[in-house]
Amino acid sequence: TLGANWEEKSFFSLPSLSQRETLFSWWEDQPTETLTKMADEVCRKTYGNKVYLRGLIEFSNECFCDCLYCGIRRSNAKITRYSLTDEEIIETVKRGLQRGFHTFVLQSGENRADLPERMTKLLFTLRKIAKEDVAFTLSCGVYPREVYREWKKAGAHRYLLRFETSDPRLYASLCPGKTLDRRLQALEDLRQEGYAVGSGFMVGLPGEDARTRFENVLLCRDLRLEMVGIGPFIPHPDTPLGKEGHKSLPIEFTVRTTALLRLFLPWANIPATTAAGSLHPRGREMMLEAGANVLMPNITPVEKKKHYLLYANKICLDEDGWECLSCLSLRVASVGKTISFERGESVLREKAQ
């Protein structure tokens, strides 16, 4: 069902093992400027100057998982836990619709007990207030396939679930009680249920190296992802990795990885992430210059935003998401692109339908 012509148009076809080595060395040897230029060209050929906007609503920081990097992990007793009410979520979506948003991302920690039924009901309500051309993306973690099926029937279109790292041993050591295989199975379940599938990884996790980052990109391609979210790992002081004193890699590593992603997945929607903007004042712009074509302004009610702290120094916590809109237009203009409020489906999906 995949648009075969996108395979041909892409910069590299799926490399064999020996080609992998050559490509890896090539990537290592290229100056960042060269990679950025090549990726930007491919991005503009596919998506023009458009940067699609997604309204991000972080509706709950309650989480059952205990990942060593994550600020909202179960064992972090220092944070204030919250869940927006259905009314608050509906109100935020209504405001977003008035502002012209055509995609909303509902993100939360993993709260297995009561989320499935609640989300199904909520989606039915949201579908009633939004027109057909509005897409709802969920990012709530791993659930049984039947739950994904119910959410799809209720009106969800897309799902974001990062695999975090393609190294199974590193994954298992960072996410106690979880496996990479289970996460990849969830991505396959989502695909089978008809979602547009998004995944991705962090750049610079302690224990990874350049080869891991390269394999991460290849895995994104093997999975034929419609969306890929990547961002730098940034330590949070109240997590095990933060306490051990790990540091982020400089932003350049995220930029080089973004460029490689764009070359391998010309069709993908790739956000310039908040984590990149938090690590470096021009982090998001640098990602937009290196092949990213999406921004996700955080429209979570401002009094709750500060509690969804995945990492230190997260930006835009005091800004109302609606204030970010004008800031973002300027930032996007500075790299010769324009904000688009369209629904912005991945071209891979458009060809397949």
Work out whether 109 is an interface residue with ligand SAM (CB under 6 A).
yes
Work out whether 256 is an interface residue with ligand SAM (CB under 6 A).
no
Q: Is 268 helix (H, G, I), strand (E, B) or coil?
A: coil
Which residues, 37 to 56, sit near ligand SAM by CB under 6 A?
Answer: none
Q: Which two tokens stand for residue 346?
A: 């991945």
b/e code 146-184 from CB counts within 10 Å (16+ = b): ebbebbbebbbbbbbbbbbbbbeebbeebbeebebeebb
Which one of 30-38, 102-110, 121-129, 220-228 is the stretch in contact with ligand SAM (CB under 6 A)? 102-110
User: Residue 56 binds what, of ligand SAM, ligand FES, none (CB under 5 to 8 Å, by partner type)?
Assistant: none
Which one of 7-15, 46-54, 64-72, 78-86 is the stretch in contact with ligand SAM (CB under 6 A)? 64-72
C-alpha gyration radius of the chain: 19
CB nearer to ligand SAM: give 102 or 236: 236
User: Residue 76 binds what, of ligand SAM, ligand FES, none (CB under 5 to 8 Å, by partner type)?
Assistant: none
Nearest to 45 by CA among 255, 220, 348, 266: 266
Work out whether 321 is an interface residue with ligand SAM (CB under 6 A).
no
Work out whether 126 is an interface residue with ligand SAM (CB under 6 A).
no
Which residues would be at the binding site for ligand FES (CB under 6 A)? Answer: 316, 319, 324, 327-328
Work out whether 233 is an interface residue with ligand SAM (CB under 6 A).
yes
Q: Please report how the helices 32-47 and 251-264 are oriented relative to each other, as an axis angle in degrees rounded to 10.
A: 50
The answer to whether the CB of 265 falls within 8 A of the CB of 10 is yes
Helix (H) or strand (E) holding 329: helix 321-334
CB of 4 to ligand SAM, least distance (A): 30
Classify residue 164 by its DSSP letter: B
CB of 188 to ligand SAM, least distance (A): 15
User: Residue 320 binds what, of ligand SAM, ligand FES, none (CB under 5 to 8 Å, by partner type)?
Assistant: none
